[in-house]
Amino acid sequence: MTTTLKSYVCGQWFTGTGKMAQLHNPTTEEVVAETSTEGINFQEALAHARDKGGAALRAMTFAQRGELLMAMSKAIHEYREELLDLAALNGGNTRGDGKFDIDGATGTLAFYAKLGEKLGDRKTLNDGDEIRLSKNPRWVGRHVYKPLHGVAILINAFNFPAWGFAEKAATAILAGMPIVNKPATSTSLVAARISEILVESGVVPEGVFTSICGSAGDMLEHVQWQDVVAFTGSSDTGLKIRSMKSILENNVRVNVEADSLNAAVLGADVDSDDDVYDLFLREVTRDITQKAGQKCTATRRIFVPQDAVESVVEDLKGQLEAMKSGAPTVKGVKTGPLATAQQLQDAQAGLARLAECTETVLGGSRGELEGIDNDKGYFLSPTLLVAKDGEAPELHDREVFGPVATIIPYDGSVEHAARLLEKGRGSLVSSIYSDKAAFLLGMADSASAFLGRMHLANSKIAEHSAGPGTVLPQLMHGGPGRAGGGQELGGLSGLRFYMQRTALQGFSPLLEKLN
């Protein structure tokens, strides 16, 4: 039976009219749900969020907003098993992949809830200490952050319908801004159910939470100067949003997290019997196969010293071949299908572009699948390529968003590795594997400008590493250039996108009373 998904606007559930968009099960290609937003008055929806939700949140202290986030986290966690089933049904997620998304969401909400508790019964976020402005010690200045009086429009990608929502929602709500969540339509079954859970729980004040399930229609044409847009998706769509007349005329803040050719760099000092080598194999394998490679933090380029390429190819092939592909509900399967037919088509087109400058040493097709006895499903087996020429522009130009990575030989030096990293024109995260401090620090010094996050891995942290693919709420998520130029999370810094920094100058005892 096909489910009809609803949006939640102006405090009411809304079922769209007209032609419905279809959601598929990527394992069987069957239609599992449909949705439409035709008939929604987006101007009224945004106004309701600003007026009702904004006022409610600004009246709360940070501690009270933190309590709201914790209640949201607990409400979602209560339905964890149901959400995992939906993640498999509509996203092709294995149980492990589903947990990565759902638990990432509840964990992020809980992290920011605790930050709210620490900030306490205040409504103002101070930025630094008082600054004396004259010889009179009572004439001072101070920078403060206060929430914008608009609405935060959260536009999320198809691959993380739970976590993608939570990392934006947690920072926006703690900052004091109401949210409009717009998940990618193709995999919105999980996001739609989360919307139902949050509304039915009664924990969210009216107007704080709006859910748009389906097309965004003309929503962004109605943004105002105090609104913000946080977007995750392709760089092409990010550019379209940034270029919209309504965005430009109103100077609306836009945060973009987009394409990223992340890299793993193996140091020349690493031998195959080193702990750091095992860590390299383990983390690269996981980041190729987890979520079927459909992660913005997945490893796409693997830089290996020239004389180690042959052995790394064999070892990585062995690791990847052990990662069974197939129906995500079958025990032991580690790699499910891609999320949509379009995703599979795009991945295949990407492989075709790389064919002239690489050799395929593993995968490239559906492969042998567990639990599948027909030709249905959007499957692409883990695929490992080796570059014929590490300087080929195509290697560093377009991301193949699937379980695909390319080994690229380099000469083992910091200078060569950093130059190859730079060719990606901006990445969210890259990893450096070495037990040589000079190499790790040299890469940090030479390549940090090209990355949002750098994972410096040696044998000392091998047992504790969460890997580069895990986005931690304590650290910034975002990257320069091609990666969008945006920033999310990062503890308290994640709140600032949703707040106005204002310089106050005046009588010191007066400013001290501001809470």
> Rounded CA gap, 122 and 511, in Å?
14
**Cα dihedral 194, 200, 205, 208 in deg (nearest 10):** 30
First to last CA, the chain: 53
Element of type H or E holding 87:
helix 80-91
- Cβ-in-10-Å burial (0-12, 13-18, 19+) of 494 comes to buried
Residue (of 431, 421, 397, 315) closest to 362 by Cα position: 315
SS (H, E, C) 6-43: CEEECCEEECCCCCCEEEECCCCCCEEEEECCCCCCHH
| Strands of the 262-266 sheet, one edge to the other | 358-362, 383-387, 404-410, 299-305, 262-266, 427-433, 451-457
For residue 504, how many other CB atoms are within 10 A of its CB? Answer: 14
Q: Are 260 and 428 in contact (CB under 8 A)?
A: yes
Query: Known catalytic residues?
Result: 257, 296
CA count, 13 A, side-chain hemisphere, 314: 4
Strand-pair partners of 125: 145
- Please tell me what DSSP assigns to residue 154: E
What are the φ and ψ backbone dihedral angles of 24, each rounded to 5 degrees? -115, 155
Pairing of β 31-35 and β 21-24: antiparallel
What are the φ and ψ backbone dihedral angles of 432, each rounded to 5 degrees? -120, 125
